[in-house]
Amino acid sequence: MSQVKASTTKKRSSSAKSKKEDKHAASAKVAPCEPCDSLSACFERHVSNGLSSVEGDYQTLFSALALSVKEQMLPNWQQTRMQDSQYKAKQVAYLSLEFLMGRALSNALLNLDITDESIKVLKPYAVQLESLEEQEHDAGLGNGGLGRLAACFLDSCATLDLSVTGYGIRYEYGMFAQKLSEGHQVERPDRWLRDGNPWEVRVPTHNVIVPFFGRSESYVDRDGLRQFTWADTQDVLAVAYDMPIPGYHNGRINTLRLWKAEATDDFDLAEFNQGDYTEAVARKNLAEQITMVLYPNDASENGKELRLRQQYFLSSASLQDILNKWVARHGADFTDFAKLNVMQLNDTHPSVAIPELMRLLMDKYGLSWDSAWQITSETMAYTNHTLLPEALERWPVRLFAHMLPRLLDIIYEINARYLDVVAHHWPGDVTKLAQMSIIEEGPEPNIRMAYLAIVASFSVNGVAGLHTQLLTSGLFKDFYQLWPEKFNNKTNGVTPRRWLAQSNPELARLLTKRLGEGWVTDLSHLNALNAFTDDTELLDVWMQVKQHNKQRLAGLVTQECGVNFDPTMMFDVQVKRIHEYKRQLLNILHVIHLYHQAERGDTKALTPRCVLLGGKAAPGYAMAKLIIKLANNVAHMVNSDPRVKPYLRFAFLPNYNVSAMEVICPGTDLSEQISTAGKEASGTGNMKFMMNGALTIGTLDGANIEMLEEVGEDNFFLFGLNASEVEGIKPHYDPQSFIDQSPALSEVLALLESGHFNLLEPGIFDPIIASIRNPHDPWMIAADFESYRVAQVKAANAYRDQHHWAQMSMRNTAASGRFSSDVTIGQYRDEIWRV
Ligand SMILES: *Cc1c(COP(=O)(O)O)cnc(C)c1O
């Protein structure tokens, strides 16, 4: 399809710059539309509109700039929407309970190419652009990798000129802020909207009503057909808030539509008329509760009723919006709907959209079951994000019967028809029927949402090669036998705009100087770096850039942890959600091992290093919280011992989030990707580090395997059991035998068990010690320790040869092109969405 022309990027300079941009917008056909005002005029207006005391009020200046940048986007935003509403290309809806967007300002300036102009506009105010950028609150509407993937995908979709709308929830409170108290995690509410959100536009014209509770009823219509209604519902109003998603230098502005729950007027009126004022107000609050807070669980479900309400609220509001848009153009003729629409489900979280689409098509638009099913099963595509059993969503039938009775009818009908297919495929096999049923029978029957998603979707994808392989050979094996054509792999990626161009400007400049600017939208250009691995001058500059970024990171660590990181030492970093499968514990045990060496003077072989750990634990995940406490206690001992100081520093960075990662990944030498093989579906942190020239120490897990394939074993510190070895050992795992074979691990455990790190808190780490010694430890900490230690020795020795390290670093960046989310989205476009 044709591209919308970039008016904001055209306005200022028509000569040299425009030519370069024309390359990116080569197929531009639509006439440009001018923004209402120049950026500087907009800015002046917002500043003077604003407030009496402007000087020094960074928050005000930030808002003025952000509002001005948004205004610059309005004409193209409008144009994009107009163009897309003609359905000349297939429309994609990306449904996700999470969008971990982070800050928007620097990304918007980069993608619109107005960074320099903004700096000029700010000049009279004697304020640095960076100072204003830091005023922005992260939009932390997600937990970790899954939510951040959605954000990277939106950037790539806009940049690839695809008509993709993100649909999510406008949580009043995003991911909690993490503080530390005596080394324990403390959660604080994230009031990210407290200073307003300059990017959002409330669009009441797109309000829709979402029903809950009530009863499912059937009746026979005038034509003698059985029809269903959902009666006596309690309705909630869904209000759309739109955020602009600018493509890179191409004039497309896509939309992230976030729904906020409000009480309906009707709802209030009914109650008021009965004279029950307080009840009415209380119910208003009940409605607004739905979008109040993000559930802070990563890779585990919590089964709360409010969570299902959020899922249905998002699914129903988004589908009604999609159908309204369709009907506005085509009337209630759905013949071509599946040709021109596709919905990508980010995990099973929005999978209740499946019965909801059936309901809307049948009950609202009068389609038959067969027509509705054909449309549904041709438009739904499901992405699986994890194999961990604790993360697989199952909702009690009882809860559905109460909250979503009409949808339960539909799910039962889907299941009955689908089990016929199963019965045909496996004649007489009743066990198979029970195993594969969408309904898990038992004293408390449950709906298996992943099964529902597979049955109704035309595409089921995993997020890395190994992950997809494990899905088809394990968790979803039966489904793979039934429908092999549905299954496919889409290895995750990250956007090079945010994770290289924006977060590592020095490296970006160097890359552009050497390779031209094409890498920003085609990251395979980075391959060309391999021709320069003997260019001593470049290698020197490469390491200077790394030094600079390490200084920046050291600044953050000093500010947030009060620990002094020395940029001449190796920076060894693990940041991600705290989870046992990610094995932060293995890392901490290794720090204890290094500490023990340094403290007893066994320092000959030690390479000085600074170890950084960061990440949030789900508030209800006791073991994860205890691991944070252990890290902080060990850090205290490490950092207060003068014998250790020249060799080792250790810090736990509180409140790891997107903005922190933008400083962390450019300043890292060694990236820790050390999950138990078979447990990390893909990982995306691993890719951000690689792009920024970090070397990885990692297991054969998730996308690590593909990273290793791209960069080669000589440029990667591989260790540990592989996924099939982990499964093989499991039945007869004997941690003690591994402890006996590793003097280092024996010493570490002895030190831990002596209470050395918890002298005033006796016994607090016993559960951790027990987990390592437990023959049922699913994470195999003891089994992998020695292999990990050896890989760490190799990394430490390699770091001593800075020239060689620089070469390996450059090779990692060079090989990272495949992990651009542009590549991933290109595959979604061609192989799933078929836009
Ligand atoms: C990239 C990212 C993640 C995902 O990290 P993994 O190491 O893949 O788990 C989580 N949180 C934030 C803030 C990120 O930027």
In percent, how much of the chain has pLDDT > 70? 94
* Nearest Cα residue to atom 11 of ligand 1: 144
CB of 608 closer than 6 A to ligand 1?
no
Mutate to test the pocket of ligand 1, among 388, 575, 665, 668 (most ligand atoms within 8 A of CB): 575
CB of 173 closer than 8 Å to CB of 262: no
Are 88-102+142-457 and 496-722+780-816 in the same CATH fold?
yes
145 CA closest ligand 1 atom index: 4
Residues above pLDDT 90, as percent of the chain: 90
**Is the shortest distance between the CB of 463 and ligand 1 below 6 Å?**
no
Tell me the DSSP string of 575-592.
ES---GGGTHHHHHHHHH
Ligand 1 mutation target, pool 577, 582, 696, most atoms within 8 A of CB: 577
Is the pLDDT reported for residue 9 higher than 50? no
Q: Look up residue 525 and give its two tokens.
A: 């250009």
Atom 1 of ligand 1, residue of closest alpha carbon: 685
Task: Name which residue leads in pLDDT, 152 or 298.
Answer: 152
List the residue whose alpha carbon is closest to atom 5 of ligand 1: 685
| Residue ranges of domains in the chain | 1-86+104-137, 88-102+142-457, 496-722+780-816
> What's the pLDDT at 20?
36
Cα(127) to centroid(ligand 1), Å: 31
What's the rounded Cα separation, in Å, for the pair 176 and 194? 14
Q: How confident is the model at residue 268 (pLDDT cuts 50, 70, 90)?
A: low
Local confidence band at 270 (pLDDT 50, 70, 90 cut-offs): low
Instruction: Confirm or reject: Cβ of 75 under 6 Å from ligand 1.
Output: no
Atom 4 of ligand 1, nearest CA residue: 145
Angle at CA 161, nearest 5°, toward 383 and 139? 60
The answer to whether 384 touches 464, Cβ cutoff 8 Å, is: no
Give the rounded distance of the alpha carbon of 805 from its chain centre.
30
Confidence of residue 143 (pLDDT cuts 50, 70, 90): very high
| Ligand 1 center to 162 CA (angstroms) | 25
Split at pLDDT 50, 70, 90, the class of 34 is: low
657 lines ligand 1 (CB under 6 A): yes
- Ligand 1 atom nearest the C-alpha of 660 is 13
Q: How many other CB atoms are there within 10 angstroms of residue 37's CB atom?
A: 14
Q: Which of 99, 100, 300, 495 to mutate to test the pocket of ligand 1 (most atoms within 8 A of CB)?
A: 100
Residue-wise pLDDT for 558-581, tens only, equals 999 999 999 999 999 999 999 999
Which residues are CB-contacts of 767 (< 8 A; sequence separation ≥ 6)? 622, 623, 626
Report pLDDT digits (tens) over 690-710: 999 999 999 999 999 999 999
Please indicate whether residue 97, judged by its CB atom, sits closer than 6 Å to ligand 1: no
Angle at 316 between CA 310 and CA 321, to 5 degrees: 125
CB of 683 within 6 A of ligand 1: the answer is yes
pLDDT, tens digit, 9 for 90 and up, residues 751-775? 999 999 999 999 999 999 999 999 9
* More confident call, 32 vs 34: 34
Average pLDDT over residues 189-193: 98
CATH number of 496-722+780-816: 3.40.50.2000
CA of 579 to the centre of ligand 1 (A): 12
pLDDT band at 592 (very low <50, low <70, confident <90, very high): very high
Distance between CA 132 and CA 693 in Å, rounded? 28
Alpha-carbon span 459 to 453, nearest angstrom: 9
pLDDT of residue 7: 39
Beta bridge pairs of residue 140: 100
SS3 of residue 396 by DSSP: strand
148 lines ligand 1 (CB under 6 A): yes
498 touches ligand 1 (CB under 6 Å):
no
Task: Measure the CA–CA gap between 478 and 484, rounded to whole angstroms.
Answer: 10
Question: pLDDT: is 14 or 174 the higher one?
Answer: 174
For ligand 1, say whether the CB of 493 is within 6 Å of any of its atoms: no
- Residue 257 in contact with ligand 1 by CB distance below 6 A: no
Q: Which helix (H) or strand (E) holds 650?
A: strand 648-653
Question: Read out DSSP for 500-567?
Answer: IIIT-HHHHHHHHHHH-GGGGT-GGGGGGGGGGTT-HHHHHHHHHHHHHHHHHHHHHHHHHH-----T
| pLDDT-based confidence at residue 221 (cuts at 50, 70, 90) | confident
pLDDT given for residue 484 in this prediction? 98
* CA 688 to ligand 1 centroid distance, Å: 9
Place of tokens 């455990």: 749
Q: Are 389 and 382 in contact (CB under 8 A)?
A: no
**What was the pLDDT predicted at 56?**
55
Ligand 1 within 6 A of CB of 576? yes
Confirm or reject: Cβ of 107 under 6 Å from ligand 1: no
Q: What is the pLDDT of residues 631-660, one digit of tens each?
A: 999 999 999 999 999 999 999 999 999 999
Per-residue pLDDT band for 8 (boundaries 50, 70, 90) equals very low
Q: Ligand 1 centroid vs 147 CA: distance in angstroms?
A: 9
Of 576, 641, 647, residue with least CA distance to 611: 647
> What atom of ligand 1 comes closest to residue 575's alpha carbon?
7
- The DSSP result for 720-737, as a single string, is S--HHHHHHHGGG--HHH
658 lines ligand 1 (CB under 6 A): yes
Q: Find all residues with CB under 8 Å of 772, minimum gap 6, and list them.
A: 585, 735, 749, 781, 782
Q: 485: Cβ–Cβ under 8 A, 6 or more apart, which residues?
A: none
User: Measured from the CA of 684, which atom of ligand 1 is nearest?
Assistant: 8
Among 684, 697, 704, say which to mutate for ligand 1: greatest number of ligand atoms within 8 Å of CB.
Answer: 684
pLDDT of 509 reads: 98
Q: Which residues are catalytic?
A: 385, 576-577, 582, 684, 688
Residue 494 alpha carbon, nearest atom of ligand 1: 1
Please tell me the distance between residue 417's alpha carbon and the centre of ligand 1 in angstroms. 40
Q: Which ranges constitute the DSSP H helices of 600-657?
A: 622-639
Read off the pTM.
0.95
d(CA 615, ligand 1 centre) in Å: 9
How many A from CA of 246 to the centre of ligand 1?
Answer: 22
Q: How far is the CA of 395 from the centre of ligand 1 (A)?
A: 27
Atom of ligand 1 nearest to the CA of 673: 7
**Architecture of the CATH domain 88-102+142-457:** 3-Layer(aba) Sandwich (3.40)
CA–centroid distance, 660 to ligand 1, in Å, is 11
Residue of 101, 146, 148 best suited for mutating to test ligand 1, as the one with most atoms within 8 Å of CB: 148
Q: Is residue 614 lining ligand 1, measured as CB closer than 6 Å? A: no
Given a cut of 60, is residue 207 above it in pLDDT?
Answer: yes
Distance 148 CA to ligand 1 centre (A): 7
Q: Is the CB of 615 under 6 A from ligand 1?
A: no
- Determine the 3-state secondary structure of 110 from DSSP: helix
Work out the angle between the directed axes of helices 58-84 and 115-122 (0-180°, nearest 10).
150
CA distance 62 to 58: 6
Give the whole-angstrom CA distance, residue 170 versus residue 199.
13
**pLDDT for the residue numbered 227:** 87
Ligand 1 centre from 618 Cα, in Å? Answer: 15
pLDDT tens for residues 442-486? 999 999 999 999 999 999 999 999 999 999 999 999 999 999 999
